[in-house]
Amino acid sequence: MMSGDAGLVEALDRWRRWLADERRLSPHTLDGYSRDIAAFLTFLTGHLGQVTGLSDLADLKPGDVRAYLASRHREGLAKTSQARGLSALKSLFRFLDRQGLVHNAVFGVVRAPRLPISVPKPLGVEEALETLAAAGDIQSQPWMAARDIALFSLLYGCGLRLGEALSLTRGTAPVKGESMTITGKGRKQRLVPLLPAVTEAVADYLAQCPYAGGKDEPLFVGARGGPLNPGVVQRQMRRLRPVLGLPDSATPHALRHSFATHLLAGGGDLRTIQELLGHASLSTTQRYTAVDGAALAAVYDKAHPRAR
């Protein structure tokens, strides 16, 4: 629960509604932001020696914010979590400023922790294809084997996030010969072409699935017919890793990375890949150039006569 005086509590409620309705942040991000603000207010209560109100936020100095960041660092909070917390605070203070409640530019002079550049770790082409082929081998039920093959085919064949694939309904299931509209982060929609292998895998799964469902029912279901839990999918990937000799970085999301990297290696341009992945910024997509560059270097070192 967030603490503070009545005016601050009301302002926080309005901020959350704005994030959900106007910014269209996901429930997961909203929960993270709420935890970040709650942690900040709890710190301020001890730091200032009183319950925090709007006037206290208006009087904050850079030293107060740095003391908070230092306390989070001492707690062992990861730099990515620290950066997200700072982003939440900046969002809140911008909102309060626009609402005429708090005018304080303190977060404009406090820098976020420098984050290490995260380079995606895709599977090789053969590894990705073997993963799709073996996805059903570790299932006892034929229909669940077909389900896993269809799901992994969507992740690798269309570059979907796991959450995007699991949010599909019977009515939005991939259909042969068509493209598919995907609703991604921030509820932004993108058009994704469909490979025959993907639509065939989904059709095979639907033909075997013992649970009937209307167009609004989940496409991918669990053993009892309810929505398939992402944890189940992640567990299946963990079970596949030792079977195929895959590294720990082989996760369901790695199939999405593999989709992008293999497209780039095959001559795809970054702008097209950006659209297919649903990245808001090209800089996010550009991480794949580092991955592909590493692969090219490995090929060079292995094959070029001057490399030895």
* pLDDT tens digits, 172-192: 888 877 778 887 777 778 878
Q: What is the pLDDT of residue 205?
A: 94
In the chain, the DSSP E strands lie at: 180-183, 189-192
- Annotated catalytic, 256? yes
Looking from the CA of 24 toward its CB, the CA atoms found within 13 Å total 7
**Between these two residues, 278 and 145, which has the higher pLDDT value?**
145
pLDDT tens digit string along 149-160?
A: 999 998 888 888
Percentage of residues of the chain with pLDDT beyond 70: 81
On the 0-12 / 13-18 / 19+ scale of CB atoms within 10 A, 292 is: middle
**Between these two residues, 128 and 278, which has the higher pLDDT value?**
128
Please state, in angstroms and rounded to a whole number, the distance separating the CA atoms of residues 246 and 135: 13
Q: Mean pLDDT lowest for which of 113-117, 233-237, 259-263?
A: 113-117
For the cut 70, the answer to whether the pLDDT of residue 34 exceeds it is yes
Q: What is the DSSP letter of 190?
A: E
The amino acid at residue 214 is: G
For the cut 50, the answer to whether the pLDDT of residue 232 exceeds it is yes
- Annotated catalytic, 253? yes
Q: Which domains does the chain have, with CATH numbers?
A: 6-108 (1.10.150.130), 125-303 (1.10.443.10)
Q: pLDDT grade, residue 2 (50/70/90)? A: very low
* Residue 112: how many other CB atoms lie within 10 Å: 15
pLDDT tens digit string along 79-95?
A: 778 878 888 899 999 99
Tokens representing 158 are: 């269309």
Q: What is the pLDDT of residue 1?
A: 40
Q: With residue 70 as reference, give the H or E element that holds it.
A: helix 62-74
Average pLDDT value for residue range 2-23: 84
Instruction: Evaluate whether 155 touches 162 at the Cβ level (below 8 Å).
Output: yes
Q: Which of 161, 170, 241, 287 is catalytic?
A: 161
Q: Which of 84, 256, 257, 262 is catalytic?
A: 256
- Annotated catalytic, 111? no
Q: What is the pLDDT of residue 286?
A: 62
**Cα dihedral: 32, 33, 35, 38 (round 10):** 180
Q: What phi and psi, each to the nearest 5 degrees, are found at residue 180? A: -135, 135
- Annotated catalytic, 302? no
Three-class SS state of 268: coil
Q: State pTM to two decimals.
A: 0.57
Q: What phi and psi, each to the nearest 5 degrees, are found at residue 280? A: -75, -30
Q: Which of 14, 90, 185, 241 is catalytic?
A: 185
Give long-range contacts, CB 8 A cutoff, 24+ apart: 14-17.
Answer: 14/95, 14/99, 15/91, 15/92, 15/95, 15/96
